Structure 1
């Protein structure tokens, strides 16, 4: 007798979840929705459109970000390249000794003027504050 009660109790506890499952009742699925079925369907469409619009914006932002990263990587690769071999200048034509001396003197004067201009800038930058 005790075994029969135990088995009955065991079957009742295992069968309860199966009996508790209910299926949707046929009829109006949006009966409690304000505005009824058309308003519910319109809201579903609106929510889906908003979701798709947000997803599209997110995809566009990601594409823009990847384009910027691609440009930065390309610039980095181009900057890392070894510079092209500089073309050797053709040899300077030979001048007479007087012309050579005049060229050397003018180059020395240009260097002095440049150094003087640079020293003025350095002096101005090093001035007491």
Structure 2
């Protein structure tokens, strides 16, 4: 109990001392020391410089937006031209067959034979899977 009382007294005494510590000095000094007009002229110059900086930043952003808009329009025109060039031409005559009828028949028969062989293999697998344990 006595320790708690001592600690509370110390904490209460340290709080006003910490509140009375002066703030650290400005490491940069007052900005208006060399100005003839003093503080008002220095503040006006600071405002003027900041306004000019913000104006230059806004102009740079507007120039970037304009250049990006121009580039976007150019790319859209290029894409549209490529899209129109990629459309297939309309045919004026009949489409010739890729294979002769004999070649097509041979391809169909080969495909059917492969399908039957695959089905037979799958049938064996299915029979093996369906077997009783």
Q: TM-score, normalised by structure 1?
A: 0.44
Q: TM-score, normalised by structure 2?
A: 0.43
